[in-house]
Structure 1
Amino acid sequence: MVYAIVRAGGRQEKVSVGSELLIDRVGGGTPAAGTALQLAPLLLVDGTTVTSDAAALAGVTVTAEVVDEVKGPKITILRYKNKTGYRKRQGHRQKHTRVRITAIDS
């Protein structure tokens, strides 16, 4: 079993070939479905061999393909100040990119 720990969207994710994950929105605009991405590996596990050396990981590429763009759950923000009548309600939905891991090449 080959898997890798990659840095994606400010977080670390455990990925293997064929797995799908949600990362923060990629790029400034909407990426087209089928666009290839390179993710930075932090750790590579190949059976019993564990590679965490930065020099050895420089030759490792983790390739992902954009599946689509989705929105996260709605969160509600409410600001309130006591005794003044100040109330402010705001909502937010974070945009995510769903990617599928296509290859882990070492």
Structure 2
Amino acid sequence: MQLIKLNLQLDAKGSYVEVLERYVNLGPIVDFHVVVTCFGAYNGIGINEQASVELQGIKGMWSLRSSIDDPFDTFLVVSFISETRILAMNLEDELEETEIEGFCS
């Protein structure tokens, strides 16, 4: 996955596309939406980071809700080769490791 910038002028390679950042693919992420909007000249596209998890060796990641009626996901299940961890939002809106009764990690 990449964050790109569309330039008005061609670069030395003859491209209008400039790669600003590259991200590791954490697939399978099935509920990720990409929205691109372009309007006006010289306007940038802002991206607001909602959360950041700096863990090495992640092989899979899924979000879960406490119940089907909840409007938002509460848990983040992070899978590694040798273990699975469950993260949850605490009262300070921070992710912390937790357990779900009956969930075999």
TM-score range relative to shorter protein = under 0.3
Structure 1 or 2: larger strand share? 1
Using structure 1 for the length normalisation, give the TM-score.
0.21
Using structure 2 for the length normalisation, give the TM-score.
0.21
